[in-house]
Structure 1
């Protein structure tokens, strides 16, 4: 299975099998994690905008940091 170039929040939820709340709490709002992923993440700037993530980089980050993220 190939990875999409750009992931939406729904793609990230599907790939990680985590909820939107978990992603926001543990990836986006966690300052240490955010510093590591902000280079390949895009936050919405207004209501009609959407989250976007570079799929290959986010997948690599999730795989490399699995224990750290799940042990919180």
Structure 2
């Protein structure tokens, strides 16, 4: 499944949201502001099903070359 990931220019996560097909889902969209980058990234369904892991995603991962990568 694709998610929208908002990061700063260093790849640190700021926010995430689902990506919907046009006409589906909520009207609101995540929008990048100055100094931010919006990515559409494919992730495993397992990640989205684990609320604790998802809540800590900004602590454990960053964006690099259009992918989520572990900070370790």
Same-fold call, TM cutoff 0.5? no
Q: Shorter-chain TM-score category?
A: under 0.3
Computing the radius of gyration from Cα coordinates, the structure with the larger value is: 2
Give the structure with the larger helix fraction. Answer: 1
Comparing both chains, which one has the higher relative contact order based on Cα–Cα distances under 8 Å and sequence gaps of 6 or more? 1
